[in-house]
Each structure stands twice: as C-alpha cells, then as structure tokens.
Amino acid sequence: MLSETLTEGLEEYEIGPAIRTLRVDKGLGLAQLGKHTGLSAAMLSRIERGQIFPTLPTLLRISMVFGVGLDHFFMAKSEKPIAAVVRAKDRLRMPNKMEGTPQFYFESLDFPVADRSFEAFRTEFADTSPTEPHTHTGAEFIYVMEGSLEVTIKKEKHRLEVGDSMYFDPSPEHSYAKVGRSRCIAINVVRAE
C-alpha cells in the first residue's frame, strides 16, 4: 500500500490516462494490449483508471508496445528532448502479431522521443506471404537495406530491391511481402496525422 504522499505524487503524472490515450490512438482494445504486454485486460483497465500504479518493468513493457520511452510518462511537454540516441543493443525486437507465425519483426528506432512527428522502424520481413492489408493516415516511407520487398497498394505491386526506396500515401489498403528466400530488412518511416 502506497502512502498518501506517494499516491498524490504519482497521480500528478496521470500515467493511466496517458496509457489510455496511446492505446486509443493506436486503435487497440484492452485485450489486444494485454496480448502484446502479457498483462490481463482487467489489470490494464485498473491502471488506466488510476486505481493502481504500474511498476517500472510493467510500464516499460507497455511503453515498448507503443514505441515510447518511460520519459513519455514523466516528462513535462516543455522538456521535449532536442536529440535522442537509440543504441542497437537497447532496441526491443517485437513480432507483428503475438499469436501464430509472425510475418515480420520490428524495432523502434526512435522510442525515447515523446510527441515525435513520425515513427521509424527497422523491419525484418520473415514471410513471403503478404501481410494483412491495412490502412492508416499520414505518409509512409520505406528504404530496403537487404533483400527484396514487394509493396502492394490497392492490388498494384511495387518490387523494391536493395537501395530502393518508396514514399506513398498509406490511406489505401497496402501490404508487404518478402520476395525470395534471402533475408529482407527495411527501414519504415510512418507519419500519422
């Protein structure tokens, strides 16, 4: 049980509402977030409502799902960092889905930065079958570092080789698929509006 002083101090950060905002912005339900974090939907609901405070390891698990650092929950908006370095050893490799065989793995390249204008990922495509078609607002950019990648936008296929890049409007349905047996690694940059 936390003391009244500690409880009041933690309440000022509004960690629960900040988690809820991130979850809703990503279009995730409590059960979906639970699958990504290993936490129950009931516990996540209690955290979001401020009934309990997450431990730092729990908060870190949640923050990694959304590609933000712990400072996202504790930093005043005016304290935005000018620069943030992400070391390769500090990146967390996550599958695109928690159940079944992942089609790709991603690592956030900019997770420590709060309120960023875009999100950058190192993505390793593991499967030659297309990913689930999806849409989102904003803009997307892909740069292929290794292998071959096929990007399908509204049934139109674009094959990208090493060194090729592509900018596109992600509002139409689009999907990705590795081409061939070689490893395929790309940098994805997404700007949501």
User: What are the pLDDT tens digits along the chain (193 aa)?
Assistant: 677 767 777 888 889 999 999 988 888 889 999 988 999 999 999 999 989 999 999 999 999 888 888 888 887 655 555 677 888 888 888 888 778 888 888 888 887 776 678 889 999 998 888 888 999 889 999 999 999 999 999 999 999 999 999 999 999 999 999 999 999 999 999 987 6
Using the 3D structure, point to which of 45, 77, 109 is the last residue of a domain: 77
In terms of domains, do 93 and 38 share one?
no
Domain span at residue 63 reads 4-77
pTM for the structure as a whole: 0.62
SS3 155: coil
Start-to-end CA span in the chain (Å): 41
Using the 3D structure, point to which of 20, 45, 77 is the last residue of a domain: 77
CATH number at residue 97: 2.60.120.10
In terms of domains, do 100 and 185 share one?
yes
In terms of domains, do 99 and 26 share one?
no
Look at the chain and report how many structural domains it folds into.
2
Q: How many CB atoms lie within 10 A of CB 124?
A: 18
Distances (CA, A) of 142 to 82, 120, 160, 170: 24, 10, 9, 12
Question: How would DSSP label each residue in 69-106?
Answer: -THHHHS-GGG--S-----GGG---EES-SSS--SEEE
Assigned domain for 54 exists: yes
